[in-house]
Amino acid sequence: MSDDKVYNVLFLCTGNSARSILAESAINRLGKGRFRGFSAGSQPTGKVNPYAIELLKSQNYPTSELRSKNWDEFAREDAPELDFVFTVCDNAANEVCPVWPGQPMTANWGVPDPAAVEGSEAEKAYAFADTMRMLSQRIDIFVNLPMRGLDRLSLQARLDDIGQTKHDDSHASLDPEPISQTVQSELAAEPTTPSAEESSHTS
């Protein structure tokens, strides 16, 4: 693999509403133009989780183009040629994926589902912040790998190792309270019918 190219990276999860969305955003920032992130789901909810949106906004990430979409979009002939595909939930890792263009390298980087957390609004917001820190930690290791100096077998071993990286919360500094207050206000203005995200807890 050459260092002068832009690597296309697809993050997969079942609902494509939280974890994969956060990972897509993180790599587009941490990759500094060398990596282009995408995300999709095997059973997309059709809506990005509001806690994910507010977390990203609080960290000055762009959110206007984020959407929950089916992974079939990336198996089409006109889809971007993928270099890497990472699953960020165990359910997606166990499903039969489409045939991706470009014969990308793959690995499972599963992390806990923040949408499944029950508790106060602050506790839910903290779960999303914690997931973002965990994903960002792994992505930061990934984008700094010496792509040119690793053969495919060695690179695959590194990718698998990243998926086993333990979460380092020593730099946790995000206060989830402002996020939870914003989300709570938005949810209060929505219809009371449970969303697909609330019903399935997939992300």
Q: Is 174 a catalytic residue?
A: no
Q: Which of 9, 10, 12, 13 is catalytic?
A: 13
Domain boundary assignment for the chain? 7-189
pLDDT tens digits for range 77-135: 899 999 999 999 877 667 777 888 888 999 999 999 999 999 999 999 999 999 999 99
Q: Which of 1, 75, 79, 97 is catalytic?
A: 97
With a CB cutoff of 8 Å and minimum separation 6, the contacts of 75 are 98, 99, 100, 101
Tell me how far apart the alpha carbons of residues 83 and 183 are, in angstroms, rounded to a whole number: 35
Q: Which of 48, 89, 107, 139 is catalytic?
A: 89
Joined together, the tokens standing for residue 123 give 């506790």
> Which is more confident, 83 or 4?
83
Tell me how far apart the alpha carbons of residues 21 and 186 are, in angstroms, rounded to a whole number: 19
Q: Is 89 a catalytic residue?
A: yes
Q: Residue count of the chain, please give it.
A: 203
7-189: CATH, from 3.40.50.2300, 3.20.20.30, 3.90.1150.10, 3.40.50.620: 3.40.50.2300
Provide the whole-model pTM. 0.81
Q: Is 128 a catalytic residue?
A: no
